[in-house]
Amino acid sequence: MSLSILAIESSCDETSAAVCVDGKILSNIIATQAIHAEYGGVVPELASRAHIQNIVPVVDTAIKKANISLANVNAIAFTQAPGLLGSLLVGTQFAKSIALALAKPLIAVHHMQAHVLANLIIEPAPQFPFLCLTVSGGHTQIVLAHSPLNLEVLGETIDDAAGEAFDKTAKLLGLPYPGGPLVDKYAQSGNPHAFKFAQSQVPELNFSFSGLKTSVLYFLQKQPPNFAAAHMNDLCASIQYTIITMLLHKLQLAVKQTGVKRLCIAGGVSANKGLRHAFETLGKEKGWETFIPPFEYCTDNAAMIAITAYYKYRANQFSDLSISPSARASW
């Protein structure tokens, strides 16, 4: 008998639903909320409202695209933590309602665990153990994956996440939210060594990105008006180079400490072309086996929730209907 899972992701500003059958993703529908660009960042109240508007059509499309009937689904999975509480509540309540109505088991998924396991969606998937650099808008972590359900955080950011470093510096350059993809775009035609910005030094496998933001701010304050617009490509390339250098430096340290030479990247920032290229180039030079998820599985998506739920189902890790979402959650 095949194992079908319907998964829902609503932790931030993407409403997504996916269907996974026997570990294969049959659909992954993502509705992005454009409204936040007007406000320069995600407005939690507006995100919750947009999830309420989007969730029915998104789930319906995912089911139809997978060509299955809801009655044949074996379990309902959802992102339980971490994220914006109001956003998580929409997905949680929706998942619970379907589980209750269909008398199907419920599977709660940790968003950061799911980002790591996005690397298992595409064949060939990495063997265990592997190291994963997870870089998103809310988190930056180096994770040692012993098995799908045994992930160990070796280091993380002590202040801003890598995605925040992209978005906040982009804002200083006058770019709209979310600035990360735009920095990526302009950086492609810029010189990464045109400007030098601060690289914070923090111990062990942890990261700090708040110094970079301050360094860019002080630099721009000393420049004439319109400087950023006139040097956009070089500024973006230099900022991106600084962030990538800090990330890959710690990844090399993690390889040294663990002896693990199988490496993955995950999270929204792993969609960055500069990071993907630098990661693969460094991997070749060092003799690492490298894995990068396709773009649609890097930024927030329900396929990664579905694949995580697939492993949790096989390990009998279910939740009951009393479960609540949590804005913050340790592993």
Is 267 a binding residue for ligand KG4 by CB under 6 A? The answer is: yes
**249 marked as binding residue:** no
User: Which DSSP string corresponds to 76-93?
Assistant: EEEEEESS-HHHHHHHHH
Q: Which does 167 bind (CB under 5 to 8 A by kind): Zn ion, ligand KG4, none?
A: ligand KG4
Is 18 a binding residue for ligand KG4 by CB under 6 A? The answer is: no
**184 marked as binding residue:** yes
Q: Which of 102, 173, 164 is nearest to 135 (CA)?
A: 164
What's the min distance (Å) between Cβ of 99 and ligand KG4?
A: 24
* Contacts of range 219-225, beta carbons closer than 8 Å, 24 or more positions apart: 219/195, 220/172, 220/173
Binding ligand KG4 (rule: CB under 6 A), the pick from 137, 155, 192, 325 is 137
**Cα(116)–Cα(99) distance, integer angstroms:** 26
Is 167 a binding residue for ligand KG4 by CB under 6 A? The answer is: yes
Is 234 a binding residue for ligand KG4 by CB under 6 A? The answer is: no
Binding ligand KG4 (rule: CB under 6 A), the pick from 138, 148, 293, 325 is 138
**86 marked as binding residue:** no
**Cα(58)–Cα(25) distance, integer angstroms:** 15
Is 178 a binding residue for ligand KG4 by CB under 6 A? The answer is: yes
The residue behind tokens 């189902």 is: 313
Residue nearest to Zn ion (CB): 136
Closer Cβ to Zn ion, 4 or 87, answer by number: 87
What's the min distance (Å) between Cβ of 126 and Zn ion?
A: 19
**Cα(169)–Cα(183) distance, integer angstroms:** 9
Mark 226-253 as b/e (b = at least 16 C-beta within 10 Å): eebeebbbbbbbbbbbbbbebbbebbee
Residues that bind Zn ion (CB under 5 A): 136, 300
Binding ligand KG4 (rule: CB under 6 A), the pick from 184, 211, 232, 305 is 184
**Cα(207)–Cα(205) distance, integer angstroms:** 7
Is 211 a binding residue for ligand KG4 by CB under 6 A? The answer is: no
**Cα(114)–Cα(159) distance, integer angstroms:** 22
Closer Cβ to Zn ion, 13 or 300, answer by number: 300
Is 90 a binding residue for ligand KG4 by CB under 6 A? The answer is: no
Closer Cβ to ligand KG4, 99 or 235, answer by number: 235
The residue behind tokens 């030098």 is: 196
What's the min distance (Å) between Cβ of 78 and Zn ion?
A: 14
**Cα(10)–Cα(17) distance, integer angstroms:** 9
Of 143-151, 245-253, 268-276, 323-331, the segment contacting ligand KG4 by CB under 6 A is 268-276
Q: Decide: residue 136, CB within 10 A, 0-12 exposed, 13-18 middle, 19+ buried.
A: buried
Coil, strand or helix: which one is 108?
Answer: strand
Which residues, 145 to 164, sit near ligand KG4 by CB under 6 A? Answer: 163
- Give the angle 314-271-292 at the CA atoms, nearest 5°: 50
Q: 153 — phi, psi (to 5°)?
A: -80, 120
Q: Which does 113 bind (CB under 5 to 8 A by kind): Zn ion, ligand KG4, none?
A: none
Binding ligand KG4 (rule: CB under 6 A), the pick from 33, 208, 272, 319 is 272
Which residues sit at the interface with ligand KG4, rule CB under 6 A?
A: 12, 136-138, 163, 166-167, 178, 180-181, 183-184, 267-269, 271-272, 299-300
Q: List, as residue ranges, the binding site for Fe cation.
A: 111, 115, 300
Q: List, as residue ranges, the binding site.
A: 111, 115, 134-138, 167, 180, 184, 272, 300
Q: List, as residue ranges, the binding site for substrate.
A: 134-138, 167, 180, 184, 272
